[in-house]
Structure 1
Amino acid sequence: MPARSAEATLTGSSVEPASALDLAGVVERSPLRDAPFDHIRMEGIFPADFYHALLERFPAPAAFHPLHHHDALRPDGTSTRQRLYLYPESLWRLPRAQRQVWRRVAAALCAPELELAFKRKFRAALENRFQQSAETVPLYPVPILVRDLPGYKIGIHADTLTKAITVQFYLPADASQVHLGTVFHTTRDPDDDRPMTMPFLPASGYAFAVRRKESWHSVPTTTAADGERRSIMLTYYVDQAPRSKLRRRLQRAGIVFGRYPRY
């Protein structure tokens, strides 16, 4: 029997559901590394046929909105990072074929079993920070599809402590952008730093537990020759303060009407 095409995979009656994307299994299989801080490198995140479908159904630029972060802004005020929140509130605007595949990805990214897999993997770091069982730390997943345009960069930083776990799934078409991976640092001091790059390879990625003055990372400036740097950012925010919960609800309500957070 001939192999099913990407089109048949997406539109046929035997479409693989998002729950069959074994992202939790990928996390479980990825060994924990403690240098320069607790992190994992993930490979084979998506099955090959499904990954091909993702690339074919990548949304058009008009579906994205800009990130107004100082590192991402050009001198004229335009942004080099474009985002699409992978929420139903955003995805309903996509053409049907795109909406089908990205809804499956969104559901897999927000699945409780994936959150638990990350909590188990980073148990020591989470329990040290929050002083409670890792499984009981209240978190809130925010999945975002990202286009980094030429000129994008971000300096060495450790992420705000409103975040608990940072995850990035790389989406290049091939290995030609391997040098565009996020760089992990041992320190912000260039004289003592021992940087380590997470290779920007297809269906690969990384995750780390956010720690103050420890989880230093950066992205070097991309060029026109590099083309777009495409990825999925999945951030687990600490879900504790009532004010934060209210702000997230208002943000998601605003997305329905095309009003997006600036950061």
Structure 2
Amino acid sequence: MQSILNRLINKIHASAIDPDPSDNFFIEDVFPPELYAQILSRLPSDDEYEFIEHPDAVLPDGTRTRKLLDLTDESIKNLNPDHQAFWHEIKRMLVSDVLQKALVQKFTRRIKERFGEQWQHWPKMINVPIFYRDFPGYFISEHTDAPFKVITMQFYLPKDESQIHLGTSFHRKKNHGFELLKTNPFKPNSAYAFVRTDNSWHSVKQMAAHESKRDSLALTIYQKGFEYKSGKTY
């Protein structure tokens, strides 16, 4: 797994930063193709996720449209026994200090702008990986993310390019609304990351009724002591 981690870190270092609306990047071919295929084949089943409580994830008829699963040692114990060793390895990679360091280095300028030099004296930051599964009707309106988040990276996990239009959109806030800057393509084996600021406005357009579920794996870096679990991380 070390070679996989090195590959990911190299892609992070080599990626081009888009400074608008807040520093962010998009990368493709994140994992070797054979590993990506294994990830898709080992994704948890629907009943292993939990519904979140969020107003954007509830339709007018009460149907909830987003589920999550915290990727922790405890949650892995409840997954398919044949898949547990695999997910333990993925989890160890995602929570590693070296991955956190690569992402923090990538966004150091914006982190300093937001927190000043004090961020270097915080207790250790925490990496929190969470699976998300979205269903028809799901959307999330423009938001910057909770203030205790530092960096978010999201790995897109579609089987093909049929949902390419469902990537995360970034926006610039205007006096009476938002200007769409771009929408990341929801492509297989791709990922994006951004540093949370007061201007990191992003959204996801509503999934149509005919669409299949939308899978992703988010990795959020928190200030230690502010990491939330099971539905409170959004």
Same fold (TM over 0.5): yes
1:193 to 161, 179, 183: 179
Deviations, residues 198-245 of structure 1 (Å, cap 9, x unaligned): 110011011001001x10000000013221110001111112x5xx47
Supply the AA of the counterpart residue of 1:20.
S
Please state which structure has a larger fraction of its residues in helix: 1
Q: Does the CA-based 8 Å contact 2:53-2:231 persist in structure 1? A: no
Query: Within 2, Cα distance between the matches of 1:21 and 1:135?
Result: 28
Matched, 1:55 2:46: no
Q: Does the CA-based 8 Å contact 1:119-1:135 persist in structure 2? A: no
> How many equivalent residue pairs?
230
Task: Could you tell me which runs of 5 or more consecutive residues in structure 1 were left unpaired when the two chains were aligned.
Answer: 1-16, 252-259
Matched, 1:146 2:132: yes
SS in structure 2 of the partner of residue 186 of structure 1: strand
Supply the AA of the counterpart residue of 1:21.
I
Query: Within 2, Cα distance between the matches of 1:192 and 1:79?
Result: 26
Supply the AA of the counterpart residue of 1:169.
F
Query: Within 1, Cα distance between the matches of 2:175 and 2:22?
Result: 16
Comparing 222-231 with 170-179, greater Cα deviation is found at: 222-231
Matched, 1:230 2:215: yes
Supply the AA of the counterpart residue of 1:141.
N
2:11 to 20, 26, 30: 26
Give the 3 Å change call, closer, same or farther, for CA 149–202 of structure 1 in structure 2. same
Q: Does the CA-based 8 Å contact 1:39-1:209 persist in structure 2? A: yes
Write out the 4+ residue segments of structure 1 that deviate beyond 6 Å after TM superposition. Answer: none
Matched, 1:174 2:157: no
Matched, 1:110 2:95: yes
Task: Could you tell me which runs of 5 or more consecutive residues in structure 2 were left unpaired when the two chains were aligned.
Answer: none
Query: Within 2, Cα distance between the matches of 1:87 and 1:187?
Result: 36
Please state which structure has a larger fraction of its residues in strand: 2
- The equivalences for 1:69-84 within 5 A come to 69-84=54-69
Shift of 1:134: 6.1
Give the 3 Å change call, closer, same or farther, for CA 159–192 of structure 1 in structure 2. closer
Deviations, residues 83-108 of structure 1 (Å, cap 9, x unaligned): 11110110111112222222221111
TM-score (ref. length: structure 1) = 0.81
Aligned-pair Cα RMSD in Å: 2.0
Structure 2 partner of 1:204:
190
Identity of counterpart residues, as a percentage? 35
Q: Does the CA-based 8 Å contact 1:59-1:98 persist in structure 2? A: no
Query: Within 1, Cα distance between the matches of 2:18 and 2:232?
Result: 33
